[in-house]
Structures are given as structure tokens and as C-alpha cells.
């Protein structure tokens, strides 16, 4: 923490910055005179962040940057100033004050760039990119795992139905196309529908074609369980 002590001309400085009025009343908001130009706006945000700001470590927590204000008016003015740079800032009341904050990683990176914290921005971006890549990989793995579990579950159900048909009436009672795909499914339980279709002796069958035949087999098994007669 740094402390700047002004021993002479403090009153004039505070009045010039419109922090206080001539009668020593505090101004709780931001003087528009101080933020007329883009450079002035950036400088004000830089000072506000240095005085009362913090940003979470993106490696260990959710993305979050905040600037503390003692007064509600100042917090709202700070929010408006940030949003002039399209940062989607919000403000909330906290214990003993108000906090203006950013939650989006891209906006936090933009803010660091706006206030001139370029090295911090680059480090933040490196961590964010790596973290987002890890999250993307995890989502892909989870999706593939779910699809694999779904495929395995369907294959096990199909094999169960085929064996039920075999024990009930025999596979020879099935039409030739269904009989062949049934025997292939029992023999190659871990292959995909596409791979199963490539094994058909009469020629490759599409994935949808294999799926249609297996659904017919499921329907026959369900009918047999209901006690219905199945023709040859």
C-alpha cells in the first residue's frame, strides 16, 4: 500500500479535484470536469482501481474484478464510467460500502487494458485461455463418455433382446436381414452401428439402416414378451 501525504495546498487540491466543496462538504460522486476526455476517464479508473480495486486469481476462483467505494453515489458513477467502455459493470452494496464489479473474463481483460495494466492483462489472458481450454476438453470428454455409455447401454439391450428371441422362437424365425444383423450384434457387441453395417455380407448397410433393423428386433422381442405370436 502507498500513502501520498500532501502537507501544503491540500485544501486547494481537494477543491480543484472537486472532492470537497468550498465549505468542506464531500462530493460523493465523480466530477464530470475530471473525465471529459478518454485519457482522463482511463486515468480515473486506474486511480480508483489502485485505491480500492482487486481481481481474483483466475487459476483458483471464478472471474471477478471489483472496486470498492464508500458511497453509493460514487459506486454508481464508477459503474457508469466503466460502462462507457462497454464493460457491463454492476454495483452492489457490501458491508461498510459499495462494490462495482465485473464478472466476465473478457470484460476484466478489457478493463486491465483500459487502465494500462498491460502485463497483468497478458498474464490474465494466458491463464484464462489455458483454463478455457481445459474446460473445453473436459466438456468434450464428458460428452464423449456420455455418448459411449449410451452406445454401450443400447448394445447391451439389443443383445439381451436378441438372446430372448433366440431362446423363445429361435433366430431362424426372423427375416434374413434381421437374422444376420442380430448374429453380428451378438458377436461384435462393442462396435458402432456404422462398423456393424460394414460387416453385412450382402453389402454395406448405412448406420440408419442398421438402426432400423435393430429397432425391429427390439419390437419383436417386446411383442414376444407380451405373448404375441410372431410369424416366420
- Are β-strands 90-94 and 53-55 bridged in parallel, bridged antiparallel, or unpaired? unpaired
pLDDT tens-digit series, residues 121-136: 899 888 888 888 888 8
Of 57, 91, 123, the domain-final residue: 123
CA 109 and chain centroid, separation: 17
> Residue 206's pLDDT is what?
92
State the pLDDT at residue 91: 94
pLDDT higher than 60, residue 1:
no
User: In 3-state terms, what secondary structure has residue 191?
Assistant: coil
Q: How far apart are CA 4 and CA 148, in angstroms?
A: 63
Domain residues for the domain of 70 are: 37-123
Q: What residues are paired with 69 via a beta bridge? A: 98
* Whole-number Å distance between alpha carbons of 92 and 69: 10
- How do residues 74-111 score in pLDDT, each as one tens digit? 899 999 999 999 999 999 998 889 999 999 989 999 99
Q: Of 91, 123, 155, which closes a domain?
A: 123
Q: Is the pLDDT of residue 26 over 90?
A: no
Give the integer Cα–Cα distance in Å for 22 and 20. 7
pLDDT at 231: 64
At a CB cut-off of 8 Å and minimum separation 6, what does 122 contact?
Answer: none
Most confidently modeled range among 45-49, 144-148, 188-192: 45-49
What is the C-alpha radius of gyration for the chain, rounded to an integer number of angstroms? Answer: 34
Q: Which pLDDT value is given to residue 84?
A: 93
Tell me the pTM. Answer: 0.59
pLDDT for 10 equals: 67
CATH at residue 110: 3.10.28.10
Least confident of 97-111, 164-178, 218-232: 218-232
81 within some domain: yes
Q: Which cell numbers hold the place of 173? A: 424365425
Kindly state the DSSP code that residue 20 receives in the 8-state scheme: B
167 falls within a domain? yes
User: Rounded CA gap, 155 and 103, in Å?
Assistant: 44
- Would you say 186 and 162 are in contact if contact means Cβ atoms under 8 Å apart? yes
Alpha carbon distances (Å) from 69 to 6, 29, 80, 105:
22, 10, 14, 22
**Residue 128: Cβ within 10 Å count:** 17
Asked if residues 85 and 114 have their Cβ atoms less than 8 Å apart, the reply is: yes
Query: Where a domain ends, among 66, 96, 123?
Result: 123
User: Where do the H-state alpha helices sit in the chain?
Assistant: 10-16, 38-52, 72-83, 105-114, 118-168, 176-187, 193-197, 207-225
pLDDT of residue 113: 93
Check whether residue 109 and residue 41 sit in a common domain.
Answer: yes
The answer as to whether 30 is a domain residue is no
Number of domains in the chain: 2
Amino acid at each position: 500500500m502507498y500513502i501520498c501525504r500532501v502537507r501544503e495546498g491540500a485544501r486547494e487540491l481537494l477543491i480543484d479535484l472537486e472532492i470537497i466543496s468550498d465549505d468542506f462538504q464531500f462530493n460523493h460522486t465523480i466530477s464530470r470536469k475530471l473525465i471529459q476526455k478518454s485519457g482522463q476517464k482511463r486515468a480515473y479508473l486506474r486511480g480508483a482501481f489502485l485505491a480500492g480495486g482487486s481481481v481474483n486469481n483466475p487459476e483458483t476462483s471464478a472471474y471477478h474484478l471489483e472496486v470498492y467505494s464508500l458511497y453509493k453515489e460514487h459506486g454508481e458513477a464508477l459503474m457508469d464510467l466503466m460502462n462507457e467502455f462497454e464493460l457491463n459493470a454492476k454495483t452492489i452494496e457490501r458491508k461498510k460500502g459499495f462494490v462495482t464489479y465485473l464478472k466476465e473474463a473478457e470484460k476484466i481483460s478489457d478493463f486491465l487494458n483500459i487502465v494500462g495494466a498491460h502485463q497483468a492483462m497478458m498474464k490474465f489472458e494466458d491463464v484464462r485461455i489455458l483454463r478455457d481450454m481445459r474446460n473445453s476438453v473436459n466438456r468434450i470428454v464428458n460428452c464423449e463418455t456420455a455418448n459411449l455409455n449410451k452406445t454401450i447401454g443400447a448394445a447391451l439391450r439389443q443383445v439381451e433382446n436378441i438372446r430372448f428371441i433366440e431362446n423363445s422362437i429361435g433366430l431362424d424365425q426372423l427375416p434374413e436381414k434381421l437374422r444376420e444383423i442380430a448374429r453380428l450384434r451378438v458377436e461384435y457387441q462393442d462396435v458402432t452401428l456404422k462398423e456393424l453395417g460394414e460387416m453385412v455380407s450382402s453389402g454395406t448397410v448405412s448406420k440408419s439402416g442398421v438402426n432400423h433393423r435393430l429397432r425391429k428386433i427390439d419390437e419383436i422381442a417386446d411383442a414376444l414378451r407380451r405373448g404375441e405370436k410372431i410369424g416366420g
